[in-house]
Amino acid sequence: MKQSVNTDKAPEPIGPYNQAVKAGSTLYISGQLPINPQTGKLEKKDLKHQTLLVMENIKAILDKAGMEFSHVVKCSIFISDMKNFPQINEVYGNYFKDEFPARETIAVAGLPLGADVEISCIAIK
């Protein structure tokens, strides 16, 4: 059985999908962009700010599902340019304490709304 997970503390989906779907004890979080949930606008300040906003959106979804970053087992990071990886990695790493999740980082030709970073993840409780 699956259950949709959505919160107003993260941006509304920009297409026909949910912020996350919970199936049993596993939570699948859709790719999050640097969208401010209060304004619904993409914020393209510096890359560290974009990554911070993405991670805070993920945190809000985890919170809604009764989970936290320690439950995350896998992340997928999509970036517009691999040279930006160190800046993204610096912010991303601040959200995990002891055990890091599995991860891949993929440079792509383009992301929705012209974002420079998008992150999705899977969490298990």
Q: Beta strands 2-5 and 72-79: pairing type?
A: unpaired
∠ Cα 37 110 40 (to 5°): 15
Q: What are the two backbone dihedrals, phi and then psi, of residue 62, each rounded to the nearest 5 degrees?
A: -60, -45
H helices present in 6-93, as ranges: 47-64, 85-93
Residue ranges of the chain with per-residue pLDDT less than 70: none
Q: Residue 81 has what pLDDT? A: 95
Q: Which amino acid is at 80?
A: S
- Tokens standing for residue 104: 């891949």
Q: Residue 54 has what pLDDT? A: 98
Residues 62 and 55: beta-carbon distance below 8 Å: no
Q: Residue 73 has what pLDDT? A: 98
Q: What are the tens digits of pLDDT across the range 53-69?
A: 999 999 999 999 999 99
Q: Residue 98 has what pLDDT? A: 83
Q: Which domains occur in the chain, in start order?
A: 2-124 (3.30.1330.40)
Q: Residue 57 has what pLDDT? A: 98
Instruction: Tell me the angle at which helices 47-64 and 85-93 cross, rounded to the nearest 10 degrees.
Output: 40
Give the position of tokens 């990886």.
85
